[in-house]
Amino acid sequence: MNSNCKTLMLSITLALLFAPLTLAQNKKPVDLTGTWKTNDGAVVKVTQTGQTVRASFISGGHCPNGGDRETFFDGTLEGNSLNGNLTSCTRSKPLVYDCGLESVYQATFKATVQDSSIAGQQFAEGWGFDRKDGHLINCHRDDRYNGYNDFSLTRDDCCSEVQQLKDQVKALEDRLTSLENRLNGSNLTLGSGQSSIQIGDGGVTINSNSNITIKATGNVVIKGAKVTQN
């Protein structure tokens, strides 16, 4: 193998080795700061400082069996993985009133994040109990019923920008419709102020307080039953 081939193969090998590193360096870190909406309709404000991420409730922080949540979660971001503690609600009324579980509790969670979505699972402790006279008794922790509950968030702050764009498109459509109606109507006025052209059933009128210039590469023909010059 000659020296040129060896040099080419070395260059290709180095390029392949360092390509993933270059792509990783150029990849923009995820910024989760903004307003988000949870899958159950709550609205939270996410703040991110470095790798530390916090979601605080704007609305929807009240739990159905009493208690209010100020913070939805606190987590640490590593790449596209977010892990931390999440504040959740005990939604089973019997577990709260018969078993004495807190209506608001902390749970660990793990999630995958993107620029406009967060999807994860929170750990749910398992509980065992007996039933008597329509109530739960002998409530106790039972790891056999441990599990995970899914949750998700989508960006909500982009919606205002989308709505703004929709309003601009609607305004443009209205202007086009108005112009179409004017062009298809029986009377049309082009221009305003000191100069205008009016086209209607009564004829064409050109109004101008200054000179009128007609330019053409061919002949200019004016036909009419009567031509009047003032």
> In the numeric block, which tokens belong to residue 8?
């080419």
**Is 117 inside any structural domain?**
yes
> What are the angstrom distances between the C-alpha of 79 and each of 36, 51, 74, 114, 115?
20, 9, 16, 10, 12
CA distance 202 to 186: 10
- Residue 220 confidence (pLDDT) above 50: yes
**Is 147 inside any structural domain?**
yes
Q: 48-106 pLDDT, tens per residue?
A: 999 999 999 999 999 999 999 999 999 999 999 999 999 999 999 999 999 999 999 99
HSE-up of residue 4 (Cα within 13 Å, Cβ side):
0
Task: Give the pLDDT score at 82.
Answer: 97
**Is 71 inside any structural domain?**
yes
From 120, 121, 112, select the one nearest 30 (Cα to Cα).
Answer: 112
CATH number of the structural domain spanning residue 50: 2.40.128.30
Task: Give the pLDDT score at 35.
Answer: 97
**Is 214 inside any structural domain?**
no
Could you tell me the pTM of the whole model?
0.59
**Is 64 inside any structural domain?**
yes
Task: Give the pLDDT score at 12.
Answer: 41
**Is 205 inside any structural domain?**
no
Looking at the structure of the chain, the number of domains it has is 1
**Is 184 inside any structural domain?**
no
**Is 61 inside any structural domain?**
yes
CA distance 223 to 204: 13
Higher pLDDT, 179 or 26: 179
Domain that includes residue 130, residue range? 34-155
